[in-house]
Structure 1
């Protein structure tokens, strides 16, 4: 994922002389989190390239959006700041707020996996000071974990995925007035998803997937990215890693067998890819969830 200091919302907070960063960490899979304390401040967010989900932990009763001064924050209030949005905030008094930063790629994967829709069809809807006790509880559990400790960071990553999935299922709507051009036909997209899921253990190639859609590799790659929001190799790797996580959490299958079942050429290749994505080895991941 993009380094934290290149994430717009994180950087806007970090640039404030009044804001204090208590915790921050990359959680793998295009997710990062931060816990902030701020006071008597004003912050503007201009078209970030990532989504931000936030929960007020303490105080915040003097916080409002400049265009909506009557609506004030409070502990456990939730906000959703989609990629590309613009907002201006005023903080009177103090606030302690948790942020979860979500990459566009992770958002795209969620749209396909959870909603069976093309990411370009959908919009994560902006929300300010909403109530959702279950989601607030997840945020509070998240900030209690030790993000610097590998096993607890993995648990935090799992919890962050729950937060994102909940937001996708409850706060995503169809874009208004959208006319789709290019991309794969819906029936082809669904067939492709089913085929990939059924053949994750096999060494799938771009050519093999393109043939199933009667397209050249070049045109298939372009149309796949248009429909899925990310390139074929990135989608395939994400699905293989997700399958691996499921196998690691559900049993004691030898790591070499997990690697083969998920289409990795070797246990070492599997370990390297897993560590790059999640910041831990498969063995560390299994141990974290077997406690």
Structure 2
């Protein structure tokens, strides 16, 4: 099953007889994008498991949430639909809008790397018909690119990450009334992050990481997931792929050398993992940067 087929907001629109999917793509890194048109419709979103950022490209002046009928949309208005939210929408007239879908795993990675905070401490605040010229411009650029063309797909991924980072910096706050239990202490979390970053070229075991915190492997894995929002092996793979992207764009190293520098057993293993994450081989990624 593809990522898009698992996205509740995407599927809700896809089931509508009035909505039309103009195009969509999985951009890698737990991100996916779509451009929709819709007219004279009503849509409900019930506790999706993913975050959704949206921007009205055209229309929207007859669109509102059922509980707030006097607040209407317009071109360049933004909406933020966090995972777990509920909303009901009425669409009068015609609209065109762009969606960016964000997995909770990608949100967790961004929270750790950008804010150095535990993802469970934070929540993406719901927003309806917001004004943010910078985000609207990113959405318009994203919607105009050819997501199937390698170079433009690379720019699309970059714009999508820019949208996520901006949302984290402007629309994320600490959960109210939160009392954290379990997880790694801040010093332990930082020690593990720094150790992983410094040893990405080496085979790392769960036992090595657990020993940094003086915990058993089982207990460490549970505490790591609480603090980082994903299991250790997923975090390690994400950091290796990030380092690979940096080396592909900022060095002339051969692909085999990059594979070894990022801790992959072989060039073929590196290529397979990279393609699974980004829907492109390392060579295609580098070629797109060159183009």
TM-score interval, smaller chain: over 0.9
Question: Is residue 75 of structure 2 the alignment partner of residue 69 of structure 1?
Answer: no
C-alpha distance in structure 2 between counterparts of 1:246 and 1:70, whole Å: 47
1:111 equivalent in alignment to 2:147: no
1:49 aligns with 2:49: yes
| Residue matched to 1:92 | 92
* Contact 2:191/2:212, CA 8 A, preserved across alignment: no
Q: 1:139 — aligned with what?
A: 139
Deviation at 1:2, TM superposition (A): 5.4
Alignment of 1:123-202 (within 5 A): 123-202=123-202
Q: Structure 1 residue runs of 4+, over 4 Å off?
A: none
Instruction: Give the 3-state SS of the residue equivalent to 1:41 in structure 2.
Output: strand
SS in structure 1 at match of 2:147: coil
- CA distance in structure 1 between the aligned counterparts of 2:83 and 2:234, rounded to whole angstroms: 20
5+ long unaligned stretches in structure 2:
none
Aligned length: 291
- Number of the residue aligned with 1:253: 253
User: What corresponds to 1:9 in structure 2?
Assistant: 9
> Residue 212 of structure 1 aligns with which residue?
212
Post-superposition offset of 1:75: 0.7
Shift of 1:148: 2.2
Q: Which moved more, 1:104-113 or 1:147-156?
A: 147-156
Identify if the C-alpha distance between structure 1 residues 2 and 179 changes in structure 2 by more than 3 Å, giving closer, same or farther.
farther
Q: In the superposition, relative to structure 1, how do residues 180 and 100 fare at CA in structure 2: closer, same or farther (>3 Å)? A: same
Distance in 2 (alpha carbons) for counterparts of 1:138 and 1:100: 11
**Structure 1 residue 6, shift from structure 2 partner:** 2.1
Structure 1 counterpart of 2:269: 269
Distance 2:36 2:85 in 1: 21
Whole-Å separation in 2 of the counterparts to 1:5 and 1:270? 27
Q: Distance in 2 between matches of 1:131 and 1:258?
A: 42
Shift of 1:151: 3.2
Task: Kindly indicate whether the alpha-carbon contact (under 8 Å) linking 1:155 and 1:288 is maintained by their aligned counterparts in 2.
Answer: no
In the aligned structure 1, how far is the partner of 2:43 from the partner of 2:64?
11
| TM-aligned CA deviation for residue 149 of structure 1 | 2.4
| Alignment partners' CA distance in 1, 2:287 and 2:103 | 27
Q: Which structure 1 residue ranges, 5 or more long, are not aligned?
A: none
- Decide whether the 8 Å contact of 1:120 with 1:227 is kept in 2: yes
Query: What is the root-mean-square deviation in Å for CA atoms of aligned residues?
Result: 1.1
